[in-house]
A and B are shown apart, each in its own frame.
Chain A
Amino acid sequence: MSTPLGLLDRRLLIVTGKGGVGKSTVSAALAQCAATQGRRTLVCELDAKGDLARILGTDPVDYSGREVRPDLVAMTMDTERSLAEYLKVQAKIPFVGRIGPLARVLEFVATAAPGVREILTIGKLAWEARESDYDLVIADATATGHIVGQLSSPAAIRDLVRLGMIRHQLDWMLELLEDPSKTSAVVVATPEEMPVVETIELVGRVRDDAHIDVGAAVVNRVLPAPFTAAERPVFDTLAAIVSEDDRCPPGFLAAVEATTHALRRRDVGSAHLRRLRDGLPTGLPVLLLPEIFDAAATNGGIDLIADALAAEANW
């Protein structure tokens, strides 16, 4: 890859993948890369668990957002506040207090009307990407199970709601979301069984069901190869000799055992990685990020991961 990957030229990036694979980590790394290039960036954690701020090494953030480093604003989603903002700014209903405690109204409407919570989330992101002065909005999105529903909520609601002001707002939202030069999904996986299976399926569904472009797959936590191609057979021979010779001291045996374990894990991971590459559409860029072993000693490793990402994407 000689030309830099154009992901950061989009207006909206949606980072998704199976639970726990590193969506928040990858979102933070993408955001750092964009901000480092001087792009004004908003990164938003949709499930509001607080992981994103922790990974960025900063105090918790909320819906109002805070500039956590130059050109990088972090926020968390809050559908209740998104509704209040929507009613006030777009529906021009200033006194939301008059329709009862907002939380309860929202709880009810979200339960009753399919897609309302989802649309409040996507709507806020689309609004920031279109109306504010950010160059790039990055969504640290929900996990595999919910993301397609969330991303297709504007289309779903457009089919259900035939009138009302939300109708024409959906039109510009869909225009933004379905334009691959403006919006892309970034799908994160780890080289393990289920994340690979789910990722392959997810890429298809994001494209076909939600009509959103997939810009890249990121494989996180790839284990480094301990040996070069020339060293590997040397280790194999050594392990064979040692296993049938009882003169070996326990410390040395332990090292053989640990290395055997590490190699086998790496081999299993490589097989999953191959399966992932085979299952993804041809031409989809696949970026590899390393496992960070001593996260505590490296400030959570986010700088290392951002550097690795920049190197992989040629930024």
Chain B
Amino acid sequence: MTGSTIPSILADHRTVVVAGSGGVGKTTVAAALGSLAARTREARVLVLTVDPARRLATALGVVGVEGEPRLVDSSGSGELWMAMLDARQEWDRLIERHAPDQQTRDAVMRNHLYDNITRRFAHSHEYAAMERLHQLQTSGEWDLIVLDTPPSRNALDLLDAPRRMRDFFSGRLLGWLTVPATSRLTLQALRPFRLVANRILGGPFIADLTDFFVLIKTMEKGFVERATEVESSLSDESTAFVVVTTPEIGPVEEAARLIEELDRRSCPTGAIVVNRSTPRIADGRSAEFPPGLEQRLIEGIEPPELLGRVVEVMHDTLGQMRHTAALEALLLESLPGGMPAVSLPMMQSDIADLEGVLELANHLAASPAALA
């Protein structure tokens, strides 16, 4: 990856997955990456976002149109589109696609556990995001898709979602729960499990569950095949990962773990983005009172006796900021080197419109230095 920059990563891949721990600004960074690509390439770029900062989404016009891509900016050489994930809708589509017949489909959707389960089922949110990504990738409509990953305690839940889905179907327990009541041998082996479950949860509930999973099991083949496809598209070389962090201990540790794990799965990290860094203020001794100016200041300022105190606070503030910047730099040394790393400064106000996103994109475009 040596020599690559953020713009080259955007140019050389068809999918860019933005990962990192919660609250580091993944959505904003994803929007900025997409916007950079759409301005510098003649490309149709889609940012697929999950749980975005509402004001950003509102400003970019993607609230209330969950699921469907919206054109956000076409003032550059390409087009920037954004779409928001609607997990529930994704699940409905999945059931629609994999149900063997209309009857099964209706039965699943009517089951009163469906709503609950699709939100928890084998990390359903992550799976829904992967599923949607796969659909968009194969639609042929997009030159580049930037995926803003769902908030999750462990950013790797996302990568694990397809495997979990497979494990769920191949697990013995699903077999047990859905075993035909006529199979005496299996029923015998199951007795302890059923006993405990019935005692704690009650027979009728277990029966409801069984009904539901008998239905779901008819879709096993479709689900498993799909999970495998989605998984392989992630380790494809057309996919790059960008890890986002803030210069704080928790997110940096999470980023380091993530980078290591991505490497282990042969999906190496393309770049690190350090969001909300303390700005570097130009050097120079945080000096004395400006000599020639002193008289003008004393005359212009009312009441003049406060001047000394104000100047003292200013120098303290500068010292503080430099100190923080130095601590941040030290912390970032714990991240693996050898890949482009860009620092995005802490902006003076929140990023809530296209203009703010464009400003961040400019920072991303600035040629990054690899971390030592």
Contact = CB atoms under 8 A, between A and B. Distances in A.
A20 B54 contact: no
A249 B288 contact: yes
Contacts of A109: 197
Interface of B: 21-24, 51, 53-55, 112-113, 116-117, 119-122, 151, 153, 168, 171-174, 177, 192-193, 196-205, 208-209, 213, 250-251, 279, 281-293, 296-297, 300-303, 306-307, 309-311, 313-318, 320-324, 327, 346, 348-350, 352
6 closest residue pairs by CB, A with B? A164-B202, A19-B22, A163-B202, A250-B284, A114-B116, A20-B23
A268 interface: yes
A167 B284 CA distance: 70
B348 A234 contact: no
Contacts of A107: 171
Summarize A's interface: helix, strand, loop or mixed.
Answer: helix
Interface stretch (A56-64, A191-199, A280-288, A303-311): A191-199
A293 to B, nearest CB: 6
Interface stretch (A4-12, A72-80, A203-211, A240-248): A240-248
A133 to B, nearest CB: 27
A242 B352 CA distance: 31
Contacts, number: 208
Contact of A258 (B23, B113, B309, B314): B314
A248 B348 contact: no
A272 B367 CA distance: 34
A67 interface: no
A143 B54 contact: no
A1 interface: no
B200 A242 contact: no
Nearest to B213: A112
Contacts of B198: 164
Interface stretch (A30-38, A154-162, A171-179, A212-220): A154-162
B293 A296 contact: no
User: For chain A, which range describes its interface: under 10, 10 to 19, 20 to 34, or 35 or more residues?
Assistant: 35 or more
Contact of A227 (B23, B55, B310): B310
B286 A49 contact: no
Contacts of A89: none
Contacts of A100: 173, 193
Nearest to A194: B53
Nearest to B348: A264
A148 B171 CA distance: 30
Contacts of B297: 238, 241
B306 A230 contact: yes
Contacts of B352: 193
B284 A253 contact: yes
B81 to A, nearest CB: 23
Given A114-B113, A197-B54, A265-B346, A21 B23 contact: yes
Interface stretch (A91-99, A124-132, A180-188): A91-99
Question: Which of A51, A227, A259 lies at the interface centre, i.e. has the most chain B CB atoms within 10 A of its CB?
Answer: A259
Contacts of A114: 113, 116-117, 119-120
